[in-house]
Structure 1
C-alpha cells in the first residue's frame, strides 16, 4: 500500500517515467523455457543463454529478475497486456514489432537457417523450398521470413510450438527453418539424422522488447545501459562462449 501511494505521488508530481521505473526494481521477464540452449528447464531448473544474460543484466542494472515461462506464441500478448515487462526468447527486431514496442540494442546477431534430414539432396538452399512442406515455430520471425519470400505461395508452411525436428524425422515435413545458432545445437544434441541445408539466408538481430510507454521506455533504457556495459567488459562474450563456443553477440564486422 505504501509503495502504491509513493508511486501515485510521483506520478502526481509529474516526474518522469524513469523515476517511476526506479521505484520498481523487479523486471518481469517472459520466456518459453523450451528453446534449447537459449531457455530450457533441466532438473527443474530454468537455465540457458537467455537466463544467464538476464541475470547479468539484473546484477548490472540493480534489477531483480522474475522469470515467467509460457508458450512462445503467448509471449507477445503477455507483453502487450502488461503481464510481463520484456521477453528474453530471441525476439527479432522487425518493422512491425518496432511499431508496437521499443527495443534495446541487439544482443544476438544471427541468421535464418534451413535444416533437413541427413542425405537430402533436393534441398540445398532456401530457393529449394518451393513445393516443399516446411516447419517453423509458431509466432516466430521465421514464419514471416518465409511468407515474405517472392515464392511463398509455393511453400506449405506448418507451424509448431516446439520440437519441430521430430516432425522432420517422421516425414511429415521436408525441412524446418530456425536460427543458425539453434540449428547447429539441435543437430548436435538431437538423436535424429539432421544437417544444415546451405548458408543462412537472412541476418536477424535479436533484442529485448518493451511496451512503448514512459515506464516501458525507462526500463528499456536501464536494460540497454546494462547491455552496453556487459558488452564492453566482455561478460556477454563469456556467456556466449559458455553456451555456443563462439560469440553470437556481435556480427563478423563488429568482431573485427
Structure 2
C-alpha cells in the first residue's frame, strides 16, 4: 500500500489530535479545578485535636475547619506533626495554616497574617489536686512549670521570669504534662483555660485549676504574610464571621465544651 506525503501528514495530524483528546479526557473536573488547603495540627491536644477511638482525627478544630472548608469551597487536608514543628512546616510551605489553638501575639504578627479570631480564652495554671499554693505566676518562683514546646505559654513564662527563678519544662504532648503535674514531678502546667477545664473534668487525673486565668488570649489561624494568602485570609475571616452570626461556631463549641468559647 502506498501513501503520498500529504496522506502521511494528515494521518499524523489526526493521530496527535486523538492522543490529545484521550489525554485530556482522563482528567476529571475535580482533579483539575478543586482547591485544596492543608491544615497542620498536632492531633494530641484533647479536645481541640486528637485521635478518637476509631483512630480518626477529631475535635473542635477539625469540626471548625471542615465547616470553613465547605463554605470557602476548599477541600481540607490535615497534616499531623509535633506541635513544635508546625510553624516550620508553614514556613517551608508544607502546610497552609495551623489549627491548634494558636494565640495571636505581637511577635507572630510580625511574620504571619491572621483572619478574625475564632476562640477567646485565657492562659490557665493547672496544679495537682489539693495544691492551693500556686495560683499566679508569682507563685511559680522556685518551682517547675510545664508548657508546650514552642507555645505562647512558654513565652509568657519567659517574659515574666526576668531573673530566671522558674524552671520551665517543655512537652510535645499536653497529656504528658498533665500526668507529670498529677504525679508531682512538676508543680504546675500553663496552658489553655478550656483545655484545662475539660481535662480536669474528664481526664481522671488528680489535677485542678490553679487560680484565675493569667491573661486573656485570642486564637486564630496563622498564614504566611504574602499577597497570595491575603485573599484566602479574607475568605476565612468571612466564613468565621458568618459561622459566628448564624450560630454554627456556638454549636460546635457547645458540642466540645458545653459553653461558647467563640465570643468575647
- Short-chain TM bin: 0.7 to 0.9
In 1, Cα distance between the equivalents of 2:163 and 2:57? Answer: 36
Question: CA offsets per residue over residues 46-91 of structure 1, 9 Å max, x none?
Answer: 1100000001101111111111111100000000111001111000
217-226 or 83-92, larger mean C-alpha shift: 217-226
1:31 to 27, 31, 41: 41
Paired residues, what number? Answer: 229
Q: Secondary structure in 2 aligned to 1:96?
A: helix
Question: CA offsets per residue over residues 204-248 of structure 1, 9 Å max, x none?
Answer: 100011111121212211111111111111100110011100010
Equivalent runs, 1:175-254 vs 2, <5 Å: 175-251=188-264
**Considering only aligned residues, what root-mean-square deviation do their CA atoms show, in Å?**
1.2
Residues 146 and 152, structure 1, Cα contact 8 Å, conserved in 2: no
Question: CA offsets per residue over residues 27-58 of structure 1, 9 Å max, x none?
Answer: 11000000000000011111100000001101
Alignment pair present for 1:174 and 2:187: yes
Residues 211 and 217, structure 1, Cα contact 8 Å, conserved in 2: no
Residues 136 and 158, structure 1, Cα contact 8 Å, conserved in 2: yes
Q: Secondary structure in 2 aligned to 1:173?
A: coil
Match for residue 55 of structure 2?
44
* 1:191 CA displacement: 2.0
Provide TM-score, normalisation by structure 1.
Answer: 0.87
Listed as ranges, the gaps of 5+ residues in structure 1 are 1-22, 252-256
2:80 to 69, 76, 86: 69
* 1:122 CA displacement: 2.0
State the structure with bigger RCO (CA 8 A, min sep 6), 1 or 2. Answer: 1
In 2, Cα distance between the equivalents of 1:24 and 1:72? Answer: 28
Residues 128 and 184, structure 2, Cα contact 8 Å, conserved in 1: no
Structure of larger gyration radius: 2
Provide TM-score, normalisation by structure 2.
Answer: 0.84
* 1:170 CA displacement: 2.6
Listed as ranges, the gaps of 5+ residues in structure 2 are 1-32
121-130 or 46-55, larger mean C-alpha shift: 121-130
